[in-house]
Amino acid sequence: MENSFHGRTMATLSATGNRKVQAGFEPLVQGFIRAPYNNIDAIKNIAENNNNVVAILVEPVQGEGGVNIPEPDYLNQLREICDQKNWLLMLDEIQTGMARTGEWFAFQHNNIQPDVMTLAKALGNGVPIGACLANEKAGEVLQPGNHGSTFGGNPLMCATASTVIDTIKSENLLTNANEMGSYILNSFKDKLVKLGGVREIRGMGLMIGIELDNECTGLVKLALEQHLLINVTAGNVIRLLPPLIIDQQQADTIVNTVSELVIDSLQKKAAA
């Protein structure tokens, strides 16, 4: 999809829909068709005019693209198209998976099943591990020995991932992601939504984006000076991915600090 990000291996970089990320790594792997995100008509047009497509690769919520949350039935319609065309539905859940959106995986909000799903980062809670899960249909593509990696299946990493899963269960972090995510989102809306210069505040669980009218990458450094780690994606979207264990006091600190930075930035731009 356009504005997507799938990784920095040659194939995933080629699948990524961001020329700035791809620059300098040409020639890219061929065979990818890009469509606008959250645009079912574009997918239907591709389905009608291309006979060589085998799969759709998509993020349930675009992270690097700006915390772009699609229409509620977007994934359902993609699943339907894949079923009709005998395509695989491949979901990149590296940012959205492992309770980030309030479900174990973001696709569960839609009550569908992907054919392939990728995980990483949060699966190891800081320990390097990635996983590619496939159903029987997709799993038939590769046979034992066709593909591998030097450190694949590392016992220590897998033990860590197992502990992460146990901790999410035992500490009820799905519930916390939903409750704290809603609290943070609503708190930001109360403080910022009526301000000129704030385009939209959106989120799903503990994946929150504050979209401004203008570029705001300088806020990353200002937040760091106040001991808060934030990120700005797509140039003008403050992306917040708080830890799953966050409590209300910590949530208030995030909301107050970021709100003050945004208000101060908007006031300075207005006075310039």
> Among 92, 115, 188, 191, which one carries the catalytic annotation?
92
From the list 5, 105, 107, 188, the catalytic residue is: 5
Alpha carbon distances (Å) from 5 to 20, 25, 95, 193: 11, 15, 10, 28
Mark whether 189 is an active-site residue: no
Clarify whether 5 is annotated catalytic.
yes
DSSP 101-162: TSSSSGGGGGT---SEEEE-GGGTTTS---EEEE-HHHHTTS-TTSS--TTTT-HHHHHHHH
121 part of the active site: yes
Given the residues 44, 121, 189, 269, the one annotated as active site: 121
- Point out the residues that are catalytic: 5, 92, 121
